[in-house]
Amino acid sequence: MFYPSFCPNPACVYHSPKILKNSTLLVPFVRIGTYYTQVVGHVPRYRCKACGKTFGIRTFQLDYYTKRSLPYHSLHQALYSGQNLSSIARLLHCSPASIQNRIDRLSRNTLLIHQHCLRTHRLTEDLAADGYERFDRNQYFPNNINLTVGKDSQFVYGISHATIRRKGSMRSEQKAKRKVLESQWKPPRGALSDSFSFLIQDLSTFWEPSFHPKLTLYTDEHPAYPPALRKVPFLKEALTLKQFSHTQISSKLPRTVCNPLFPSNYIDRELTKDIAAYHRESVCFVRNVNNGLSRLLCYLLYHNYQKPYRIHWGAIRFPSHAQVAGIPLERFKKKLEQVYVERFFLTHEPLTPLWEALWFRRYKTPLKKKEEYLPKYAFRGYTQGSIK
Ligand SMILES: [Zn+2]
């Protein structure tokens, strides 16, 4: 029978599962009957003896507050196999909005698993970083999705996003249209450089020079990268002490495994073939920046933690990219087993600014005037249950 392992009220002393384990109180929660829902029938309800709040089992589930249960595993599988939202919606007999809603929920669980692993991880490999150019809404708003990838493991460490100005040759009517659109919404100046600095700043969470004394970052020859790196405060000292070096490689070199940019090229290829919105010359593209990033996060759950690093002859399977990067399986196995069922709590796993931007949907969508919608349960300090 289900028994709560913590109190969902963030202000309660029993909110941390660790405190409950060491608690002297034998029964901190009492069952106080059930309530009926049309989705799953009767739901048991509990009261916390410490704070007096009441809550149901649904509070702890990924499907908290949903009006219909959808199979997360099938949905996720379809997403990383290149199906678009409408296609998954047809498969599961629901609306594309319901699919996006479940993807958002899953992406928040992914964020917390990833942050948990990074917070306790010590980097032992070099990194490659690159910006993948796609577009959001229409081709007048190209973006740069910056990713840091492990050189040996191809584990994706970080993601950031920047909308940039459309460049390249354009016909006169295209230039006129760009002018009209830019009068309504213009990408911020230096967005690419700021986004790259923001991404690299997160290295301080898992890179310690005592574990990996000489870290090399491989990028292509984009002129924005060296000034962006100089803007990162903790790198200034590392650059002076020669603990950190930046090597730029021509992106015209053959894209083989011997190329130091192989990790970036590899992930670029995987994203292009596996995510519907990144297929080239198709009708699938990202309409909302934060929704697109949620899908990317769900893809990273698969790439980093579920997919084997390599498969030989269809039979010999290597461990996941995370394990190759040096993250022990025990650190994420339990969470991975529960990722489609349990709801992970933000208050149990504080996020760094890089991941907070994704959780709180802080990236701006071109031409969007309305504020981004953030569900109530995703707010910081949101109090679950009701006081009775
Ligand atoms: Zn409580």
Tens-place pLDDT, residues 160-187: 999 999 988 999 999 999 999 999 999 9
Per-residue pLDDT at 388: 40
In a domain, 112, yes or no: yes
Q: How far is the centre of ligand 1, averaged over its atoms, from the C-alpha of 47 (Å)?
A: 8
d(CA 282, CA 277): 8
Does 65 fall in a domain?
no
Distance CA 200, CA 222 (A): 15
| Tally of domains within the chain | 2
**Mean pLDDT of all residues in 99-122:** 96
**% the chain with pLDDT above 70:** 96
166 belongs to a structural domain = yes
- Gap from CA of 29 to ligand 1 centroid (Å): 8
- Cα(329) to centroid(ligand 1), Å: 32
Same domain assignment for residues 147 and 51: no
CA 6 to ligand 1 centroid distance, Å: 8
**What tokens were used for 206?**
């898992």
- Residue 25 CA to ligand 1 center (angstroms) comes to 12
* 236 shares a domain with 119: yes
Report CA(346)–ligand 1 centroid distance (Å). 16
Contact call for residues 385 and 54 (beta carbons, < 8 A) = yes
What's the whole-number mean pLDDT along residues 304-309?
A: 94
Grouping H, G, I as helix, E, B as strand and the rest as coil, residue 134 is strand
Strand partners, 150: 127
Q: Is the pLDDT of residue 288 over 90?
A: yes
Say whether both 29 and 130 belong to one domain. Answer: no
Report the C-alpha gap between 21 and 2 in whole angstroms: 16
Mean per-residue pLDDT, 337-364: 94
Is the domain of 163 the same as that of 201? yes
Q: What is the pLDDT of residue 312?
A: 80
Is 383 inside any structural domain? yes
Q: Domain check: are 297 and 350 in the same one?
A: yes
**Statement to judge: residues 51 and 80 lie in one domain:** no
What residues pair up with 29 in beta bridges, in sequence order?
Answer: 48
Domain membership flag for residue 7: no
Query: Mean pLDDT across the chain, nearest whole number?
Result: 91
Q: Please, which pLDDT band fits residue 387 given cuts at 50, 70 and 90?
A: very low
218 and 135 housed in the same domain: yes
pLDDT tens digit sequence for 49-91: 989 999 999 999 999 999 999 999 999 999 999 999 999 999 9
The amino acid at residue 243 is Q
Looking at 60, 80, 115, the residue that finishes a domain is 60
Query: What pLDDT is recorded for position 280?
Result: 86
Task: Tell me which residue has tokens 């599988």.
Answer: 77
The CA 59 to ligand 1 mean position distance, Å, reads 13
Query: Same domain for 52 and 80?
Result: no
Residue 85 shares a structural domain with residue 213: yes
Do the domain assignments include residue 204?
Answer: yes
How confident is residue 25, by pLDDT bands cut at 50, 70 and 90?
low
Distance 102 CA to ligand 1 centre (A): 28
Task: Compute the distance from residue 52 Cα to the ligand 1 centre, in Å.
Answer: 6
- 54 CA from centroid of ligand 1 (Å): 8
pLDDT at 328 over 70: yes
Question: What pLDDT was estimated at residue 303?
Answer: 96
Name which residue leads in pLDDT, 45 or 388: 45
Is residue 1 one of the residues assigned to a domain?
Answer: no
What is the rounded distance in angstroms from the CA atom of residue 241 to the CA atom of residue 377?
A: 45
Residues 223 and 358 in one domain: yes
pLDDT at 311: 84
Instruction: Determine, yes or no, domain membership for 347.
Output: yes
**141 CA distance to ligand 1 middle (Å):** 47
C-alpha 8 – ligand 1 centre gap (Å):
7
Name the domain boundary from 60, 90, 115: 60
Quote the ligand 1 centre to 116 CA distance (angstroms): 24
**pLDDT tops 60 at residue 385:** no
| CA 55 / ligand 1 centre spacing (Å) | 10
Q: What is the pLDDT of residue 282?
A: 84
Same-domain status, 301 and 328: yes
- Distance of CA 81 from the midpoint of ligand 1 (Å): 41
Q: Are residues 276 and 156 in contact, defined by beta-carbon separation less than 8 angstroms? A: no
pTM: 0.94
Please calculate the CA angle 150-119-357 and round it to the nearest 5 degrees.
85
Q: pLDDT band at residue 20, thresholds of 50, 70 and 90? A: low
Distance 28 CA to ligand 1 centre (A): 8
Alpha-carbon distances of 31 from 180, 242, 292, rounded to whole Å: 61, 60, 41
Closest by CA to 7, choosing from 35, 46, 42, 43, is: 46
Alpha carbon of 376 to ligand 1 centroid (Å): 19
Q: Quote the ligand 1 centre to 108 CA distance (angstroms).
A: 23
Give the structural domain span for 24: 13-60
Q: How far is the CA of 113 from the centre of ligand 1 (A)?
A: 24
Output the six-digit token pair for 139.
């081709």
Cα(228) to centroid(ligand 1), Å: 45
Indicate if 211 and 295 belong to the same structural domain.
yes
